[in-house]
Amino acid sequence: MSFKSLELAQPIQRAIEEEGYTEPTPIQAQAIPVVLSGKDLLAAAQTGTGKTAAFTLPMLQKLFRHKPNGKRRIRALVLTPTRELAAQVHASVKTYGRHLGLRSVEIYGGVSIYPQTKALRSGVDIVVATPGRLLDHLNQGHLDLSHVETLVLDEADRMLDMGFIHDIRKIIASLPHHRQTLLFSATFSNEIKRLSKTILHEPEMIAVAADNTTAERVKQTVHPVDRAKKADLLSYLIGTNNWQQVLVFTRTKHGADKLSKRLAQDGLPSTSIHGNKTQAARMKALKAFKDGRVRVLVATDVAARGIDIDRLGQVVNFDLPEVAEDYVHRIGRTGRAGNAGEAFSLVCIDEKHLLHRIEKLTDSRIEKVLVEGYHPDPSIKAEPVKKRGGNRRRKSTGGFGGGERGASRPQRGGNFKRRDRA
Ligand code: AMP
């Protein structure tokens, strides 16, 4: 199928061509005609499936085709769970809409409210926002949502997980009753079904890439290793395999900072991104990673939600997540839009039960590969995994900073040739 058969306006087709897309992804092929028909939509799609363009392209088309004369009013509202995702969706809106003459703004907390207020005053067609800051603006009378024609809830399951349900309901109460609503969610939980019943009107339903199909696109490997040797093993893997852009997940914010420092000491430019960092610091870290100035981005689950990095080759689970679904979200950061990706999990004896849960959820056995010099010590007994926020320093290991060094660790750092990134 080609984009031409979707009957998008010429300036949108041009932007798509400029992006180098040749054909729509399955979610785009299915969602775009539904959105253009004006129907409500309930779509199950994860990040990496091309879902952003699936709602943005037809939304832009409708705004472009029915430009009212006179004052510019907010006619489309996209809500996202995180600031990063709002910024990314807004970047897509600008990219795909670059030849349309529409105006848009991104609204989220953690940054000054003033430029947002100024942009709203000058008039915009599209608002991409996180719920909390949008409500602030609404309560202060900075915006009028009574002309919104299209509402998009992106990663709705995440928004519910993060406790935004009341904010969402308040926002929806200020929208016209007669509107088009598009709800995108990675999962169809009972909560999502309940929400969709109250805010969608006879929706079309689309499901692509169920949780475990993402897993199928990604080559997954488990490296059994002692906790004390995880950081050494990670440096070793990055160095020997010459990975240039690796996203690493840790369970805690403290763990992310500590690991990032440790990798930097090993000569691997690294930075971290988590909820304790300011928005500006998170954006800076993400940009440095995207630009290739740092090789390793260490992130917690919340901070990494919705991050879209083109052609991310490797994802590493330094710690396995407590919630098995997060594993699927994590590895979904690689192997994007049809590209093959790799996910590695460094699993210590304490985490065996977490691995078991993941294998059960994805209904698969993940290949276990022992790395020479990093075989787990069979005399180490499992200890309970400390809950997030707790002190993860362990008596038996002294934390991952103090582990033994593998004897055969190669030189790292500037000695490796940089792989061309196409
Ligand atoms: P998303 O699921 O919206 O986060 O998109 C994942 C990635 O796929 C982004 O980097 C998009 O730029 C890319 N993408 C979206 N649509 C297409 C397409 N039709 N062909 C190739 N890449 C695409």
Q: Which amino acid is at 101?
A: G
134 lies in the same domain as 187:
yes
* Closest residue to atom 17 of ligand 1, CA basis: 50
Domain count, the chain: 2
- Tokens representing 107 are 């609204």
Residue 416 domain-assigned? Answer: no
Query: Which residues lie below 8 Å from residue 45, measured CB to CB, with a gap of 6+?
Result: 27, 51, 54, 184, 185, 186, 206, 207, 208, 209
Residue 119 lies in a domain: yes
Q: 190 and 234: one domain?
A: no
Q: How many CB atoms lie within 10 A of CB 118?
A: 11
Residue 117 lies in a domain: yes
Between CA 46 and CA 200 the distance in angstroms is 20
Angle (deg, nearest 10), helices 51-65 and 83-96: 50
Q: Domain limits at 343?
A: 218-390
Residues lining ligand 1, Cβ inside 6 A: 21, 24-25, 28, 47-53, 308, 310, 336-337
Distance 197 CA to ligand 1 centre (A): 29
Q: For position 341, what pLDDT does the model report?
A: 84
Residue 154 sits in the same domain as residue 192: yes
pLDDT in tens, the chain (422 residues): 789 899 899 999 999 999 988 899 989 999 999 999 999 999 988 777 889 999 999 999 999 998 888 889 999 999 999 998 999 999 999 999 999 999 999 999 999 999 999 999 999 999 999 999 999 999 999 999 999 999 999 999 889 988 899 999 999 999 999 999 999 998 777 888 899 999 999 999 998 754 445 556 788 999 999 999 999 999 999 999 999 889 999 999 999 999 999 999 999 999 998 878 887 888 888 889 988 899 999 998 877 765 666 667 799 999 999 888 788 888 877 765 556 689 999 999 999 999 999 998 877 889 999 999 999 998 888 777 765 544 333 333 333 233 323 333 333 332 222 222 22
Q: How far is the CA of 22 from the centre of ligand 1 (A)?
A: 11
Residue 157: which CATH number? Answer: 3.40.50.300
Q: What is the C-alpha separation between 245 and 293, in angstroms, rounded?
A: 10
Q: Mention every residue, 6+ apart, whose C-beta is less than 8 A from residue 375.
A: 224
Q: Are residues 142 and 8 in the same domain?
A: yes
Tell me: do 382 and 240 sit in the same domain: yes
Residues 171 and 87 in one domain: yes
Q: Which residues contact 92 (CB under 8 A, 6 or more apart)?
A: 52, 53, 56
Atom of ligand 1 nearest to the CA of 92: 12
**Is 125 within 8 Å of 65 (Cβ atoms)?**
no
Please check whether residue 90 is in contact with residue 128, taking contact to mean a CB–CB distance below 8 angstroms. yes
**Is 396 contained in some domain?**
no
How close is the Cα of 50 to the center of ligand 1, in Å?
4
Rounded to the nearest whole angstrom, what is the distance from the C-alpha of residue 337 to the centroid of ligand 1?
6
Residues 244 and 192 in one domain: no
Which residue owns the Cα nearest ligand 1 atom 18?
A: 21
Closest ligand 1 atom to Cα of 337: 8
Residues 243 and 201 in one domain: no
Pocket mutation for ligand 1, best pick of 23, 96, 305, 308 (most atoms within 8 Å of C-beta): 308
Q: From CA 100, how far away is CA 126, in angstroms rounded?
A: 12
Is there a domain that residue 234 lies in?
A: yes
Same domain for 192 and 237: no
Q: Which letter does DSSP use for residue 416 in this model?
A: S
Q: Whose CA is nearest to atom 15 of ligand 1?
A: 50
Alpha carbon of 379 to ligand 1 centroid (Å): 47
Same domain, 241 and 143: no
Mutational pocket test of ligand 1: of 60, 155, 213, 336, the residue with most ligand atoms within 8 Å of the beta carbon: 336
Q: Which of 23, 25, 46, 56 to mutate to test the pocket of ligand 1 (most atoms within 8 A of CB)?
A: 25
CA distance readout (Å), 350 to 36, 83, 346, 378, 406? 51, 33, 11, 12, 21
Instruction: Report which of 38, 44, 10, 70 is spatially closest to residue 201, judged by C-alpha positions.
Output: 38
CA atoms within 13 A on the CB side of 380: 20
Q: Per the domain annotation, does 77 fall within a domain? A: yes
Place of tokens 């839009």: 337
Domain shared by 199 and 234, yes or no:
no
The answer to whether position 74 is within a domain reads yes
196-208 pLDDT, tens digit each = 999 999 999 998 7
234 Cα to the center of ligand 1, angstroms: 29
Could you tell me if residue 54 is inside a domain?
Answer: yes
CA distance linking residue 330 with residue 317, whole number of Å: 8
Q: Whole-prediction pTM value?
A: 0.62
Nearby residues of 203 by Cβ (< 8 Å), 6 or more positions away? 39, 40, 41, 42, 181, 183, 196
Q: Which atom of ligand 1 is nearest to the CA of 306?
A: 4
